[in-house]
Chains A and B, each alone.
Chain A
Amino acid sequence: ILNVEQSPQSLHVQEGDSTNFTCSFPSSNFYALHWYRWETAKSPEALFVMTLNGDEKKKGRISATLNTKEGYSYLYIKGSQPEDSATYLCAFSAYGNKLVFGAGTILRVKS
């Protein structure tokens, strides 16, 4: 079973703080790296899918980077807002068949 690790497990920040999370995955046979946002009582929603080493993606205040050679991706949130509170999941695919999720990072933003 492939291992995908996310850190930290949880994070509590103040409104306006910027924050970042890490996703570590195997550096061999890379196909794609996904980031999802999961709010309580809802379904996961996609933020980014990255397929190329060096990819950088941005959506509003959220951005992500990818390093496939060393096996990590960072997710950044600039100026956190209470509505950013959610669990952030990354998922790794090797060969384009299975998708393996990390356990997630729980973000709580206090106003």
Chain B
Amino acid sequence: EAQVTQNPRYLITVTGKKLTVTCSQNMNHEYMSWYRQDPGLGLRQIYYSMNVEVTDKGDVPEGYKVSRKEKRNFPLILESPSPNQTSLYFCASSFHLANEQFFGPGTRLTVL
């Protein structure tokens, strides 16, 4: 089944404790992206990757890192999480932006 998977789905952590949210797709998509969703603000792009080893900042990259060492995986790393990173996070993939994005199930992160 074609899909985008994210893990974990839910995470409660404390300020400063490094964490990684994994994202994997099995559709051979070149473009992958991370978004965060906050009430009243819609989806905001954190980072995107147009291919392996090619990543770039979206509109809200501060406090996040990403890597794209393999085509299928695009992990999101929070080196020192802070409470303002409490949010719902989505990973998405597509061949490119002239094609529809497929979204993962979302990760709800709470930073205390």
A residues at B contact (CB < 8 Å): 1, 31-32, 34, 36, 43-46, 49, 51, 89, 91, 93, 96-104
Contact = CB atoms under 8 A, between A and B. Distances in A.
B100 A99 contact: no
Contacts of A34: 97, 100-101
A99 B103 contact: no
B81 interface: no
B100 A98 contact: no
Interface of B: 33, 35, 40-45, 48, 50, 56, 58-59, 90, 96-106
Given A43-B104, A45-B103, A96 B40 contact: no
B78 to A, nearest CB: 21
A103 B48 contact: no
Nearest to B102: A46
B59 A104 contact: no
A98 B101 contact: no
A36 B42 CA distance: 12
B98 A96 contact: yes
A98 B99 contact: no
- Looking at A89, A91, A99, A104, which has the most chain B CB atoms within 10 Å of its CB? A99
A34 B100 CA distance: 7
Contact of B45 (A36, A89, A98, A102): A98
Nearest to B59: A1
A45 B105 CA distance: 11
Nearest to A2: B59
Contacts of A46: 100-102
Contact of B48 (A49, A51, A98, A104): A98
B103 A98 contact: no
